[in-house]
Structure 1
Amino acid sequence: MSVRRPIAALAVISALAACAEPVPRGELPFTPVYQGVETRLLDGDLVSFLVAMRGARDPQDVERYAECAAAQYAIIRGYGFARHLRTTVEEEAGLWRGDAVYTISAALPAGLKTIDAEVTALSCAENGIPMV
């Protein structure tokens, strides 16, 4: 019986944890510390943005940081738009790292994940997210 009690207790704890309401993202603590952007031109209009930050709530915060970098980079290069291709995010010991790839262009590119660089850069500035 002593073997069953720890297993039963674990089952009860697991069941209670499963019943807990998830905390809405907006209610999670958010004290970001942005630790820099590294930009790598991959080929012509294809650019990689390596970002690092602490205090992120989840991968979305890291993705937004990279998006802000992409918007500012497009503006600096004289382009008005960017299209998101992919972002990978990793977290280790509180340090979040993202690797995002975008194409930049003068005209609105085809695809669903496009950004208007000026609009995005304004939003980033209003929200205190640093850019390139």
Structure 2
Amino acid sequence: MKRVAALFPLALAACETPPPTAEDFIPEYKGVETKLLEGDLVQFNVAMTKAQSTKDVADYARCAASQYTLIRGYGFARHVRTNVSQEGSIWRADAVYTISPSLPRGLRTIDAEVTAQDCAERGIPTV
């Protein structure tokens, strides 16, 4: 009888969820779609898994916007809006930015070159 009692905790341990590993927290970037809406207004749709918060997904969209701005020959962007959603393990962001050759008015502006460099250092892919 003592043998069965001794094995019971082991049986329960086998059913427990294993503790998270470092890989569980490394984001997987699933791609960026860009769409020129009108003139200097651009929409970025991004998808990723293993985001820790909505900020991670918004940062991915911002990185895409910074590189796109540079590709178009501009130096600055201004954030208009970002909508973030989660379906199962997939996080999505729908972000809109204006791009311009000079620093635009507003509080939510980004220097595309500085931001793209920051994204590269953080390992966040761009367009």
Q: TM-score, normalised by structure 2?
A: 0.81
Counting only pairs closer than 5 Å after superposition, residues 1-132 of structure 1 correspond to structure 2 as 30-132=25-127
Q: Which amino acid aligns with 2:93?
A: G
* Structure with greater Cα Rg: 2
Query: 1:84-120: per-residue Cα shift (whole Å, max 9, x none)?
Result: 0000000011100000000000000000000000000
Aligned residues: CA RMSD: 0.7
Distance 1:59 1:101 in 2: 16
Unaligned ranges ≥5, structure 2? 1-23
Percent same amino acid at aligned positions? 65
Aligned residue for 2:51, secondary structure, equals: coil
Structure 1 runs (4+) greater than 6 angstroms displaced? none
Q: CA deviation at 1:31?
A: 1.2
Distance 1:63 1:30 in 2: 17
Q: TM-score, normalised by structure 1?
A: 0.78
